[in-house]
């Protein structure tokens, strides 16, 4: 049942605690971070190239100082409970030998944490192993862990020894994120980019090969509690706190109902928000948006939060959007993966963004129920747009993937490009139209974008937000939380432009898209500029796929 207004019992807003697989140990501490925007954009770190970092001792020479690996009952998920494993917690961190012991104390048995092992190979040097996605042996990209017992003077080196992807933005200036509890408490400073001598390189030539991410860092304080992360964390509990605040707001809750779309494999609620004006839904078209089908792409959640904040604001454009449309929003499609700290998979051990259209509601409930909901909506009214929020680890900036079928008319193929082109004009310092791709590859047939397009959503997109930042508009800097949230507002602005009843903006963008395609085809194929007979696969390079191109699906 929907939770409608703050006038109802507060019991309705007592959102349940996350449910974990029973194999997972979970510490009792509540992990929360303050929000902070750096006063100046954080520039990219000068890349060090692909040469290997200094030699480090192997596991056999080092000392294991942290080891936490769930003892999985068989090869698949069986059951879950609030708080995870029963019984007293183990002690995965090696105890300190006294006050002079400078060994770091590691921990990641909290929401979205995924450190499996830490080996001390020098006085201030550690080799780390990430836990693969649960019930798989791969998909190591996201990381999030805590360290304590820091010293301010030394230069530490951390090396993550089992990154999965052969290419990464860490080789192009991306820095890890650091959060200091002392800085947060004393100075109001939150997550910030850190790290020098950052290298990303092949660590072994086995099958499959593994890659290493290495960086050096100095901690800001002695005896501090710090966190490292690949991107700004946004947990399932963060979403629940946001929804609780929303439900308690007497203004915003008038425009928004919150319901359970379904429950995940672990029993966590997959939330569905319906947003529209108080004038009802009659005659309104629908916009569908979703995020976090891939749990390690947390930037998508921050962009989604900006989207929701703007839609529920008192801004005149937000009121107009609520008057024109009904918004169906699923802000976290894969809550189980987010809870346990997976990079890509759900507890089914598979990528749920390769499961749309499969008759497996019990294995992939989030995507199955989202697709079924869109089918029901399409039977009654037009869905003008679907947008699935993602993150990208190999390309800078923000861009989109759309759906261009070479058999469609020229007008239809051009119109596919209009929304991303308009967004590039509204966000010239963040969004790259040149990076957008529209080819529908066979391997992507069961993604959200392509599945919704096949259902009849003519404008269906994946929004890709770089883990790093922007190289556009004179920038060469990381995205802040403020940057990510602004994307949601800019998406709303673009929706109004796209649906403007006055045709001038649309006609200009159609003409510009046609010119760009003529230039692209003439340059690549030498066909004199005619492109109507050219399929997207002919003028989009084979390496231009989404960040999931390297996934086995």
Please check the confidence at residue 549 and state whether its pLDDT lies above 50: no
Q: Average of pLDDT values for 57-83?
A: 83
| Lookup result for tokens 């929304």 | 419
- Mean of all residue pLDDT scores within the chain: 90
Question: What integer pLDDT is reported at residue 1 of this predicted model?
Answer: 39
Task: Identify the band that residue 423 occupies on the pLDDT scale cut at 50, 70 and 90.
Answer: very high
Q: Do 252 and 344 touch, CB atoms closer than 8 A?
A: no
β-bridge pairing 477-478 and 285-291: unpaired
Whether 205 has a pLDDT exceeding 80, the answer reads no
Share of residues in the chain with pLDDT > 90 (%): 76
pTM: 0.94
For residues 42-51, give the mean pLDDT.
79
Question: CA-CA distances (angstroms) from residue 345 to 250, 334, 342, 431, 446?
Answer: 37, 8, 6, 27, 15
CB atoms < 10 A from the CB of 244, how many? 16
> Is the separation of the CB atoms in 516 and 435 below 8 Å?
no
Task: Name the pLDDT band for 208 (thresholds 50, 70, 90).
Answer: confident
Q: Tell me what pLDDT residue 138 has.
A: 86
Residue with more model confidence, 146 or 60: 146
Q: What is the pLDDT of residues 351-376, one digit of tens each?
A: 999 999 876 788 899 999 999 999 99
Least confident piece of the model among 241-255, 396-410, 420-434: 396-410
Helices and strands of the chain, counted as H and E runs:
12, 22
**Domains detected in the chain:** 44-229 (2.60.40.3120), 236-520 (3.40.630.10)
CA distance 288 to 425: 22
What string of DSSP letters covers 240-295? HHHHHHHHT-TTGGGSEEEEEEEE-TTS-EEEEEEE--TT-STT-EEEEEEE-SST
Segment 238-250 shows an average pLDDT of: 94
| For residue 251, pLDDT beyond 80 | yes
Instruction: Read off the pLDDT of each residue in 5-19 and give the average, rounded to a whole number.
Output: 58
- pLDDT category at 542 given cuts 50, 70, 90 is very low
* Cα(268)–Cα(273) distance, integer angstroms: 16
Question: Is the pLDDT score of 545 beyond 60?
Answer: no
Does residue 213 have a pLDDT over 90? yes
If one counts every other C-beta atom within 10 angstroms of the C-beta of residue 31, the result is 17
Q: What does the pLDDT average to over 196-208? A: 85
For the segment 184-203, the average pLDDT, to the nearest whole number, is: 95
pLDDT of residue 59: 61
pLDDT of residue 552: 34
pLDDT at 74: 64
For the ranges 13-17, 231-235, 317-321, the lowest mean pLDDT is seen at 13-17
* Partners of residue 66 on adjacent β-strands: 93, 118
pLDDT for 4:
43
Residue 61 has pLDDT above 70, yes or no: yes
Q: What is the pLDDT of residue 243?
A: 95
Residue 308, pLDDT score: 98
pLDDT at 418 over 70: yes
Residue with tokens 């850190």: 194
pLDDT of residue 203: 84
Tell me what the mean pLDDT of segment 300-317 comes to: 97
The residues carrying an active-site annotation are 464
Q: pLDDT tens digits, residue range 254-282?
A: 999 999 999 999 999 999 999 999 988 89
Q: How confident is the model at residue 31 (pLDDT cuts 50, 70, 90)?
A: very high
User: Which pLDDT score is estimated for 120?
Assistant: 96
Give the Cβ contact number of residue 496 at 10 Å. Answer: 17
Q: What is the pLDDT of residue 500?
A: 94
- SS3 letters for 125-192? EEEEEECCCCCCCCCCCCCEEEEECCCCCCCEEEEEEEECCCCCHHHHCCCCEEEEHHHHHHHCCCCE
| Average pLDDT score over residue span 197-223 | 90
**111: pLDDT confidence band, cut at 50, 70 and 90?**
very high
């Amino acid at each position: 049942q929907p939770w409608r207004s703050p006038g109802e019992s507060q019991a309705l807003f007592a959102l349940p605690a996350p449910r974990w697989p029973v194999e997972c140990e979970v510490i009792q501490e509540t992990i929360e971070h303050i929000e902070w925007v750096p006063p100046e954009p954080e520039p990219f770190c000068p890349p060090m190239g692909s040469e290997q970092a200094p030699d480090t001792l192997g596991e056999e020479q080092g000392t294991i100082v942290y080891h936490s690996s769930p003892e999985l009952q068989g090869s698949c998920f069986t059951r879950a409970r609030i708080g995870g494993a029963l019984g007293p917690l183990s002690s995965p961190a090696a105890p300190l030998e006294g006050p002079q012991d400078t060994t770091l104390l590691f921990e990641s048995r909290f929401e979205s944490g995924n450190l499996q092992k830490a080996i001390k190979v020098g006085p201030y040097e550690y080799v780390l192993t990430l836990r693969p996605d649960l019930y798989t042996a791969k998909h190591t990209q996201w990381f999030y862990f805590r360290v304590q017992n820091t010293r301010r003077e030394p230069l530490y080196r951390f090396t993550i020894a089992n990154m999965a992807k052969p290419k990464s933005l860490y080789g192009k200036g991306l820095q890890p994120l650091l959060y200091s509890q002392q800085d947060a408490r004393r100075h109001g400073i939150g997550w910030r980019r850190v790290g020098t001598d950052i290298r990303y390189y092949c660590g072994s030539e086995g099958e499959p090969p593994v890659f290493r991410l290495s960086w050096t860092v100095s901690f800001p304080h002695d005896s501090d509690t710090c966190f490292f992360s690949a991107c700004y964390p946004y947990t399932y509990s963060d979403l629940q706190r946001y929804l609780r605040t929303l439900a308690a707001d007497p203004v915003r809750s008038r425009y928004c109902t919150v319901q359970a779309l379904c429950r995940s494999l672990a029993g966590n609620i997959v939330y569905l928000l319906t947003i529209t004006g108080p004038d009802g839904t009659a005659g309104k078209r629908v916009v569908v948006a979703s995020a976090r089908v891939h749990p390690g792409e947390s930037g998508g959640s921050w962009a989604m939060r900006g989207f929701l904040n703007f839609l529920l604001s008192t801004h005149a454009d937000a009121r107009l959007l609520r008057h024109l449309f009904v918004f169906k929003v699923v802000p976290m499609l894969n809550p189980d993966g987010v809870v346990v700290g997976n990079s890509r998979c759900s507890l089914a051990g598979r990528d749920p963004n390769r499961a749309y259209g499969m008759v497996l509601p019990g294995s992939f409930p989030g995507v199955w129920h989202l697709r079924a909901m869109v089918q029901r909506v399409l039977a009654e009214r037009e869905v003008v747009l679907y947008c699935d929020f993602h993150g990208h680890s190999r390309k800078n900036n923000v861009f989109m993937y759309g759906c261009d079928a070479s058999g469609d008319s020229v007008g239809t193929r051009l119109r596919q490009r209009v929304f991303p082109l308009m967004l590039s004009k509204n966000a010239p310092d963040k969004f790259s139209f040149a990076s957008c791709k529209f080819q529908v590859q066979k391997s992507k047939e069961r993604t959200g974008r392509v599945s919704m397009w096949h259902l009849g959503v003519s404008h269906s997109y994946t929004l890709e937000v770089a883990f790093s930042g922007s190289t556009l508009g004179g920038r060469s800097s990381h995205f802040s939380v403020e940057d990510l949230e602004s994307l949601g507002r800019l998406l709303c602005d673009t929706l109004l432009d796209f649906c403007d009843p006055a045709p001038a903006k649309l006609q200009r963008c159609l003409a510009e898209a046609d010119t760009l395609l003529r230039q692209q085809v003439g340059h690549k194929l030498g066909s004199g500029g005619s492109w109507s007979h050219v399929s997207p696969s002919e003028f989009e390079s084979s390496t231009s796929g989404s960040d999931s191109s390297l996934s086995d699906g």
